[in-house]
Structure 1
């Protein structure tokens, strides 16, 4: 039995942070960072049956062409991904009445629709890009035991060799091959770098001195058997690593709003994000 301190439930039986009951969650889930973006997704649903929220975690669950879908705002960063991912897995796979693991486990489909900046000069702003792999430059997976595929191990070793001055060890997670085919079959794909912050950890210097001032240049120059790091954001690697660990399917779809190598930002970010949302929903 899972103790109260490990699986915290609210007075109404809902899970602590997300404020959801098991029946509130669909098995196909869209992650967005911004709570305001939840409505930007659910407005395309044919019907919304659940609207719940707590803190930055807003959830809408409804039907689209007869398919039940949830959209959840995670907030920014892999620390929030840790909370959301553990709680959606518990909602799917823990019997709250007995606080025990269900005998038949559910594998969820999780699609992140997020914003990102490219670190390759040939990736234009407005591009919708799918992440084949995520490389985590944050600390999340220092706390979990994750199985690694041979390809992930190879990428991890090359990254550690290329970023040899780092004082921490990056981790690697991979996209669901099924979701890559189903949703991103005609999208460009790449390797996404996940940072634990927006400024220094992404190589920005507004009024600071950075420990790794050449982070973007070094990341953009890495080649992994014909692959390259294409973009930079704050959630993908954590989503992939936890999905791999729990046995869920995950895909990150990135709306490229900035070019870090060209020092530019898109003039029409809302239109680009809406295009990414409609693209994903059309393929679910």
Structure 2
């Protein structure tokens, strides 16, 4: 993956870890976009955000957008999910994540009502748990 994303050897590299596929089945729905989240070790530079310093991976977002491995694409970049999956697996637990997407960095679009999106995801998640 690092090679396909053209990542520097000198900087932190994003990584992926599988969720628990049995848990993921519970949340399959027309209301959910199934995707692949890539995780990096920080919030600003490691996710190609820039304040005053340039990030090590200037073109990370465009590399993620064009990434395709055997038909698998990356749909989200953040800093927690793969770490949670890895720790869960190491400790004998199972984990899955559901994300309320509030911003699209590629297009610069931001949700006009983030609270309702988060509430809808919480309601959906709890209902799926109750039903399954």
User: TM-score, normalised to structure 1's length?
Assistant: 0.42
C-alpha distance in structure 1 between counterparts of 2:51 and 2:5, whole Å? 23
Alignment correspondent of 1:162: 4
Q: Deviations over 1:76-106 (max 9, x none)?
A: xxxxxxxxxxxxxxxxxxxxxxxxxxxxxxx
C-alpha distance in structure 2 between counterparts of 1:216 and 1:169, whole Å? 13
State whether residues 192 and 231 of structure 1, in contact with CA within 8 Å, keep that contact through their aligned partners in structure 2: yes
TM-superposed CA distance for 1:265, in Å, is: 1.4
Alignment correspondent of 2:16: 172
**2:106 aligns to what SS in structure 1?**
coil
Alignment correspondent of 1:270: 115
Q: How many residues align?
A: 125
C-alpha distance in structure 2 between counterparts of 1:276 and 1:249, whole Å? 20
C-alpha distance in structure 2 between counterparts of 1:215 and 1:170, whole Å? 10
Structure of greater relative contact order (alpha carbons < 8 Å, 6+ residues apart): 2
Q: Deviations over 1:194-228 (max 9, x none)?
A: 12222211111233222211010011111021110
C-alpha distance in structure 1 between counterparts of 2:72 and 2:36, whole Å? 7
Asked whether 1:235 is paired with 2:85, we answer no
TM-superposed CA distance for 1:192, in Å, is: 0.4
Q: Residues 170 and 268 from structure 1, CA distance in 2 versus in 1: closer, same or farther, beyond 3 angstroms?
A: closer
State whether residues 195 and 234 of structure 1, in contact with CA within 8 Å, keep that contact through their aligned partners in structure 2: yes
State whether residues 47 and 77 of structure 2, in contact with CA within 8 Å, keep that contact through their aligned partners in structure 1: yes
Higher alpha-carbon Rg: 1
Asked whether 1:280 is paired with 2:125, we answer yes
C-alpha distance in structure 2 between counterparts of 1:196 and 1:169, whole Å? 8
Task: Supply the RMSD in Å over aligned alpha carbons.
Answer: 1.6
State whether residues 16 and 39 of structure 2, in contact with CA within 8 Å, keep that contact through their aligned partners in structure 1: no
Select the structure that is richer in strand.
1
User: TM-score, normalised to structure 2's length?
Assistant: 0.86
Gapped runs of 5+ residues in structure 1? 1-158
**1:255 aligns to what SS in structure 2?**
coil
C-alpha distance in structure 2 between counterparts of 1:243 and 1:174, whole Å? 11
